[in-house]
Structure formats: structure tokens, C-alpha cells
Structure 1
Amino acid sequence: MTIARTDLLGLPVEVAPRLLGAELRTVVDGVRTALRITEVEAYHGRGTGDLPDPGSHARMGPTARNATMWGEPGHLYVYLSHGIHSCINVVCGPEGTAGGVLLRAGEIVAGVDAAAHRRGVATPLSRIALRDLARGPGRLGQALGLRHALHDGIDFVTGDEQNGARARLLWGEPVADVSAGPRVGVAGIAGTDAYPWRFWITGDPTVSPFRWGRGAREAAATL
């Protein structure tokens, strides 16, 4: 069943764990792929929720870069990381507030060869290569074929085409065992247990390893 806009009206930290096990399907330039979501992170914009989020792109308010985060839920916010990686977020919360759930990792369940080709990985895939195909947000975006800025704002509820791509997000089987902890690679206090806004399917091999962000380890020592 397709995830509806009304399913995404809660705070990102509430929506994020519910997206585990969901399936994101893309058709890019006629090539189909699908991914089962295994790891996510929640991000709140300015004025969203009771706790300000210093790790969010929208922490200072609306900008040209984060405009999609302030729009209606049911779109994908696709941003560029380190100038090369297209990272995918599910926009949630009422229109006019900023909220996003970063898709950190997943299992490619359809279109494995196409995803490998996009990633530049030789086939047939080894067990490790298959595990790593969408392990981490940059790899995930590349495997699914969605690119900044061509596909930023793509609507997965209507499934309308945008620059040669379509996307759909569907509910999956309920996940029984979910873990939570600090976000990966986020700087300062926002990357500590003060913000346990990373959620993953416990024990899933595709989940990315934790690493501290700049100054986060030091900030954690003061908690």
C-alpha cells in the first residue's frame, strides 16, 4: 500500500521508525529499482517539535537549498553531500514546517544489476558487495538513480514523472525489532545521545556503521 501524505503528518522523529521495512521504488530513464529501508535518521527544522535540532539543514529557517523540507509531505528532499553524493530524505510534517527523514541504508530488492551498474560495482555480486550496495546514504541515492537537483522534490504519492524519474514509497512488513541511537557523522551535540534520532532494523547487515561527527565525541563526554 502506498504511503499517503496523511501518514506523514507527525514529527520526523515519530515518522522515522515507522518507515523501516518500507519499500522505495524508482523508475529512472526507464530502469526500475526497489529498496527495502533498513536505517533512517530524523531531522527537524526551525520551530519543529519541542527540541531545536542543530544538526538539521533547516535549523536556521527556509533557504533555497532546503525549500523542499518546508513543503507538503510525500515528496523526496534530495540534497548534495560533499559535492558528490545525492542523499534522499522523506519529507514529513505539515506543510510550512520543516521535517525530513534521511534514508541511510537499505537492501536492494529489485533491479540489483541496475543498481550495481549505477554504483560502478562489477557483477555478479559477492555477498559483501550485495550488502554494501545501498549501505550509507550516498550509496543509497546512487543505487536508486535519484540525483540532485534533477529529482529534488519528486512526489512519491502521485508518482508523477520529474526529469525522467518516478518514485513510489510503499508500506512493508512490520518490523518487530528496532534499535535507536545517535545520528552518524553529525557534528557537536546533534551527533550524540542527546538526539537518539537514528533508527535501524536490529541486526540487519545492510545497516551502516556508526562514526562520530566533528566534535560530537567531546560533546558526548559532557552529557
Structure 2
Amino acid sequence: MAQNRTVTARTLGKPLRRAFFARSVHEVAPDLIGATLLVNGVGGVIVEVEAYHHTDPAAHSFRGPTPRNMVMFGPPGFAYVYRSYGIHWCVNFVCEKEGSASAVLIRALQPTHGIPAMQRRRGLHDERSLCSGPGKLTEALAITHAHNGLPLDTPPIQVHARLETPEVAAGVRIGITKAVELPWRYGLKGSKFLSKPF
């Protein structure tokens, strides 16, 4: 997949059903690169994600269920939204099976749908900066805690399958202090929309 390819409504892949997420987080995470995330019709191509397994000390679920992370312990195919550092919302896709508490953090998108709305919400014009980070993309897509626990295959959230198999890069995750050596960050190789180069 070319990094600057324009995706339109006519070229969207089929909607991803919950069964897609009912697999290992390490399979789902790289398979999301190139998929399209839309919230009320606004969004773009997923170009960067991070995997968090329940055995991973960096995962919110590592120490067990809490009111904050309860969605992670539910069935796959739902959104887990939390506030990072009390400032930014972050959106994750719950994976594996009910009780496994594993999820994929969506880190960056290439904007393709509703760009004027994203520019208005973010207060900037540069498309490269609209969704180049987990807090930026939730602001651009107007994702808040109200989306926590919502299904990923029913409006307002829709995730569409990629149309081609992209070249995926892998590396260590960003902004964590535990399990920093694990290469569980995945991204579209060469994309200019990443939060940080690989």
C-alpha cells in the first residue's frame, strides 16, 4: 500500500466483524495496519498500533480488573477508551477472548474521511499532524469516554478491512516504562503519518 494512497468510500474494504478481533493480539495488531477506522464517518487508514497482552506489565489489565479497565476483560471487538495522564483520550480495540484482557492501542491514522471536521477539531490545517499520535487522533475523531465499551462493528464506530497487504514495520513501543524491550509496535513502513519513525 502506497503511503499517500487516497482512500474513498468506494474503495473501503468490508466491515470487520467481531470475529476478526477474537484472535491473538499479536495477530490482530499487524493485521490492522492498512484498515480504516471511522467514527461517525470521520477517520482514516490505520498506520500505527501497539499490542498489549494481559501478561505484559505495561498492559492496563496486568494487575486484574478495575472499574477503569473492565472493558478489556469483556468480549473482543469492543472499544476500550481511557484518559492518558489525565489529558488525552486513547482508543484501544479489545482482542482475543472474553477474560483475556488484551488490546491494541491505535496510535496513528492517515486522514482520509472528514478531513475538514478533523482540522476544525484539532485547530490546525496540516494533515500530517491531525492524527499522528493516540491523543491527536481521538481529538480529531471526537472520541471520548462515551465511546468506551462500544462495539467496533456498529455505528458510530466502523472498522473496514484493508484492501491490500502493506509492508509492516515493527519496533519497541513508545511512552512506557515497563517491558520497553518488546517489539510490539507496528506501523506502515515509510508512512509520513506515523507518530514517530521506526
* TM-score where L is the length of structure 2: 0.89
> Taking structure 1 as reference, are residues 175 and 207 closer, same or farther at Cα in structure 2, changes over 3 Å only?
farther
For residue 60 of structure 1, what is the aligned residue in structure 2? 63
Amino acid at match of 1:196: P
The ranges of structure 1 where at least 4 consecutive aligned residues each deviate by more than 3 angstroms after the TM superposition are none
Amino acid at match of 1:155: P
Tell me how far apart the structure 2 counterparts of residues 67 and 174 of structure 1 sit (CA, whole Å).
34
Tell me how far apart the structure 2 counterparts of residues 7 and 34 of structure 1 sit (CA, whole Å).
20
For residue 133 of structure 2, what is the aligned residue in structure 1? 136
Residues 1:169 and 2:159 aligned together: yes
What secondary structure does 2:147 align onto? coil
Deviations 1:146-167 (A, max 9, x none): 102x1111112233xxxxxx11
1:172-183 mapped onto 2 (5 Å cutoff): 172-183=162-173
Deviations 1:66-95 (A, max 9, x none): 111111111111110011201111111111
Tell me how far apart the structure 2 counterparts of residues 210 and 170 of structure 1 sit (CA, whole Å).
25
1:101 Cα deviation after fit? 0.3
Contact 2:34 2:166 in 1 (8 A): no
For residue 199 of structure 1, what is the aligned residue in structure 2? 186
The runs of 5 or more residues in structure 1 that have no matched partner are 46-51, 160-165, 212-223
For residue 153 of structure 1, what is the aligned residue in structure 2? 149
Tell me how far apart the structure 2 counterparts of residues 175 and 87 of structure 1 sit (CA, whole Å).
26
For residue 12 of structure 1, what is the aligned residue in structure 2? 25
Tell me how far apart the structure 2 counterparts of residues 82 and 13 of structure 1 sit (CA, whole Å).
26
CA RMSD of aligned residues (A): 1.4
For residue 10 of structure 2, what is the aligned residue in structure 1? none
For residue 214 of structure 1, what is the aligned residue in structure 2? none
What secondary structure does 1:186 align onto? coil
For residue 84 of structure 2, what is the aligned residue in structure 1? 81
The runs of 5 or more residues in structure 2 that have no matched partner are 1-13
Q: Identify which of structures 1 and 2 has the higher relative contact order when contacts are C-alpha pairs closer than 8 Å and 6+ apart.
A: 2
Residue among 102, 105, 115 paired with 2:108? 105
1:38 Cα deviation after fit? 0.1
Contact 1:12 1:43 in 2 (8 A): yes
For residue 48 of structure 1, what is the aligned residue in structure 2? none
Deviations 1:168-197 (A, max 9, x none): 111022233111010011103x122xx110
Q: Percent identity?
A: 40
1:210 Cα deviation after fit? 6.0
Amino acid at match of 2:180: G
